[in-house]
């Protein structure tokens, strides 16, 4: 099913980006967004309907991955830095960056990672009682031409930025969650072969937390350099040094990829969202309990 | 200048000697003037000859006298130049325009330096002679006649032999893959991939290793036209350091009579970098020092050390 000439040429770009077998729903997304002729798109929406995850869809590989896409990056650890007691997010970020500068790290521009959540639309859920999946569409300023799409615990897809257009077209299948956009922005620091990014995580207008990303460029196998990375993290995070990220454990001596970093950011964003929910719930509880107090003061 | 005077230069005798030299020169030129003028007009031929001979004799006498005077004075002047450690160049210190031409102090400095250099070179050659594995030691131990014989034989090894040695090493270390190519004639180039840690480009001349460049596993080792890039260095400081150490290792492992042993020793040493990011320093116990892991591997024990922790 090799669509237009355009996609044919893309197929030759490399089996190195081959999709995990059985993930045919992703294959479809690849294909449609690569600018396939309208007739073929129509065909597929028929085949696929009413569900996106149609297991009989033929397997396509990586039609829209840019050929310049880097295979690997250095092993990276993304973690959350708690806000220091009695300090604002901004003040804690300043403390952290000052520590880095004292260490000898040099400022090297800025960075941004953003994430938007999509629900599987209720109308597309199959009769087999499949639960609605959440999908995260993310961007990373380190890879300005790419777009990442992730399922929770699922595969990570790397596409070009056309994917954003595709998501608009797939409104019937995926709906953007309300006010779900979360992002982190901050400064990049270079220290020897380490790249450190300290960012302020924001949801809507307000700052919700601090993200710390540390990449060790020379090493591509996570289990090889975790001890080394830990020693570096301890040198400026002290008691807030995180444990090994979950993605490190998954693949024994596999080469670390940028998708692994995006998975870590997704998990960090989810963690911060949950923290906010607990915070709000706590506030609600407080408010109701104070109300009931007031009620009890009324003479009966 | 005072110390030079005390060496024993008699300045007055010096001045007299100079005027004695002047006197000698003028009397010598008078001799030649007399000879040039020849016989002057006199009434008789006999008279002419007599006058000429008398004149010539007078002149020779005065030359003799002036010469004797100069010899006498030169004994008085003494021999300061021989007493001075810098011999005649010590006289430069007599130059009154010291400030404009500091030649003498520069000369002393250079003299001290060359003395020190000679001393240290002597120590170094003594030490090198004790180390039997080094290139220089072998070449010094071998007589000058044998050396040029030994070199060419190892340089003209057949390519097939080189291939065999390399493929045997390749089979020896499972975590190491060696890819051999010959893009520029008979000289082999190796691309060594060590686990998922690093890649090394090795430029060979017969079985001698000429040059190595160490790069990261995820770094590009080819130029745009698909050839091995033997010139550009790694983007990462850690691999630049390892490249430096590998170059040091090439100088360490030298055994001109058995080049295959050298290549095998070098590869064995290189293989110890499989734990580049996993081995803490054997001296300070840490992973990082100034942002770098232990990049040095001991040539004998293969233990990991930071560059500044090794001894
Ligand atoms: Zn050390």
Our CA-based measurement puts residue A33 at a distance from the nearest CA of chain B, in whole angstroms, of 29
Tell me the CA–centroid distance for residue B237 and ligand 1, in Å.
17
pLDDT at B27: 92
Low pLDDT (below 50) residues in chain A? 1-68, 127-129, 292-300
Cα–Cα–Cα angle for B161, B162, B164, rounded to 5 degrees: 65
- Nearest residue in B to A71, CA atom: B218
pTM listed for this prediction? 0.65
**d(Cα B63, Cα B59) in Å, to the nearest integer?**
6
pLDDT bin (cut points 50, 70, 90) of residue B59 is very high
Q: Among the residues of B159-208, which ranges form H helices?
A: 159-172
Do the Cβ atoms of A191 and B236 come within 8 Å?
Answer: no
Do the Cβ atoms of B288 and A228 come within 8 Å?
Answer: yes
pLDDT bin (cut points 50, 70, 90) of residue B78 is low
pLDDT at B87: 66
pLDDT bin (cut points 50, 70, 90) of residue B113 is very high
Do the Cβ atoms of B291 and A191 come within 8 Å?
Answer: yes
pLDDT bin (cut points 50, 70, 90) of residue B169 is very high
Mutate which: A102, A189, A218, vs B, most B CBs within 10 A: A218
B130-142 per-position pLDDT tens digit: 665 545 444 444 4
Mutate which: A77, A193, A257, vs B, most B CBs within 10 A: A193
pLDDT at A141: 94
Do the Cβ atoms of B239 and A218 come within 8 Å?
Answer: yes
Distances (CA, A) of A107 to A100, A187, A220: 10, 7, 24
pLDDT at B98: 64
pLDDT at A290: 56
B166 and B190 in contact (C-beta within 8 Å)? yes
Looking at per-residue pLDDT, the higher value among A122 and B63 belongs to: B63
Nearest-CB residue to B237 (from A192, A232, A255)? A192
pLDDT at B303: 95
pLDDT bin (cut points 50, 70, 90) of residue B93 is confident
Pairing of strands A174-176, B176-184: unpaired
pLDDT at A186: 97
3-state secondary structure of B106: helix
- Nearest residue in A to B218, CA atom: A72
What distance lies between CA B85 and its chain's CA centroid?
Answer: 25
> Residue B291: which region, alpha, beta or left (left: phi > 0; alpha: psi -120 to 50)?
left
Chain B contact residues (CB < 8 Å to A): 196-197, 216-218, 235-239, 277-278, 280, 286-288, 290-293
Q: What is the DSSP string of A228-294?
A: HHHHHHHHHHGGG-----HHHHHSSSPBP-HHHHHHHHHHHHHHHHHHHHHHHHHHHHHHHHHHHHH
Tell me the CA–centroid distance for residue B284 and ligand 1, in Å.
4
Q: What is the DSSP string of A75-121?
A: EEEEEEEPPPTT--HHHHHHHHHHHHHHHT-EEEEEEEEEEEEEEEP
Do the Cβ atoms of B216 and A235 come within 8 Å?
Answer: no
Nearest-CB residue to B196 (from A73, A221, A227)? A221
Our CA-based measurement puts residue B214 at a distance from the nearest CA of chain A, in whole angstroms, of 12
**d(Cα A138, Cα A161) in Å, to the nearest integer?**
10
Residues making up chain A, counted from first to last: 300
Our CA-based measurement puts residue A216 at a distance from the nearest CA of chain B, in whole angstroms, of 10
B188-207: average pLDDT: 94
Cis amide leading into A159 (omega within 30): no
């Amino acid at each position: 099913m090799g669509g237009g000439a355009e996609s044919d040429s893309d197929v030759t770009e490399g089996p190195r980006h081959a999709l995990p077998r059985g993930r045919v729903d992703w294959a479809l997304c690849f294909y449609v967004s690569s600018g396939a002729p309208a007739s073929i798109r129509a065909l597929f929406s028929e085949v696929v309907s009413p569900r996106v995850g149609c297991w009989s869809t033929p397997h396509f590989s990586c039609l829209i991955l840019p050929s310049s896409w880097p295979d690997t990056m250095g092993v990276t650890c993304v973690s959350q830095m708690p806000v220091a007691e009695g300090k604002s997010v901004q003040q804690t970020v300043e403390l952290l960056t000052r520590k880095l500068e004292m260490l000898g790290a040099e400022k090297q521009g800025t960075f941004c990672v953003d994430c938007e959540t999509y629900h599987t639309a209720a109308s597309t859920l199959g009769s087999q009682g499949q639960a609605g999946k959440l999908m995260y569409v993310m961007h990373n300023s380190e890879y300005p031409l790419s777009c990442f799409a992730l399922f929770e615990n699922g595969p990570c897809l790397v596409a070009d930025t056309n994917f954003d257009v595709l998501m608009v077209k797939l409104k019937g299948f995926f709906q953007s969650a309300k006010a779900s956009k979360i992002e982190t922005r901050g400064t990049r620091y270079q220290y020897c072969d380490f790249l450190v990014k300290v960012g302020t995580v924001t949801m809507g207008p307000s700052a919700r937390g601090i993200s710390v990303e540390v990449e060790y460029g020379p090493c591509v196998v996570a289990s090889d350099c975790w001890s080394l990375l830990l020693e570096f993290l301890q040198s400026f995070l002290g008691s807030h040094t995180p444990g090994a990220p979950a993605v490190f454990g998954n693949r024994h001596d596999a080469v670390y990829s940028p998708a692994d970093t995006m998975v870590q950011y997704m998990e960090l964003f989810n963690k911060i969202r949950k923290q906010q929910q607990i915070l709000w719930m706590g506030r609600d509880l407080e408010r109701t309990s104070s109300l009931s107090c007031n009620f009890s003061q009324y003479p009966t | 200048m005072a110390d030079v005077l005390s060496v024993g230069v008699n300045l007055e005798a010096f001045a007299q000697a100079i005027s004695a030299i002047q006197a000698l020169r003028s009397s010598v030129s008078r001799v030649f003037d007399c000879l040039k003028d020849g016989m002057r007009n006199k009434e008789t031929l006999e008279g002419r000859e007599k006058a000429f001979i008398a004149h010539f004799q007078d002149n020779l006498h005065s030359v003799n006298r002036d010469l004797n005077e100069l010899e006498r004075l030169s004994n008085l002047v003494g021999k300061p130049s021989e007493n001075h450690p810098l011999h005649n160049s010590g006289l430069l210190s007599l130059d009154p325009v010291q400030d404009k031409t500091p030649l003498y102090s520069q000369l002393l400095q250079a003299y001290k330096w060359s003395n020190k250099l000679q001393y240290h070179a002597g120590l170094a050659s003594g030490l090198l002679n004790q180390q039997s594995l080094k290139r220089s030691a072998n070449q010094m131990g071998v007589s000058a006649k044998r050396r040029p014989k030994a070199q060419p034989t190892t340089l003209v090894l057949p390519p097939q032999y080189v291939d065999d040695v390399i493929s045997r090493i390749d089979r020896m270390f499972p975590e190491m893959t060696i890819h051999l190519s010959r893009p520029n004639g008979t000289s082999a180039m190796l691309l060594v991939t060590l686990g998922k840690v690093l890649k090394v480009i090795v430029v060979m001349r017969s079985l001698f290793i000429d040059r190595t460049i160490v790069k990261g596993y995820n770094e590009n080792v080819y130029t745009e036209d698909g050839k091995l890039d033997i010139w550009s260095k790694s983007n990462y400081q850690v691999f630049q350091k390892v490249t430096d150490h590998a170059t040091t290792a090439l100088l360490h492992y030298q055994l001109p009579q058995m080049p295959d042993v050298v290549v095998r020793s070098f590869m064995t040493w290189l293989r110890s970098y499989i734990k580049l990011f996993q081995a803490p320093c054997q001296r300070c116990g840490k992973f990082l020092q100034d942002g770098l892991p232990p990049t040095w591997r001991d040539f004998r024990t293969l233990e990991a050390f930071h560059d500044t922790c090794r001894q």
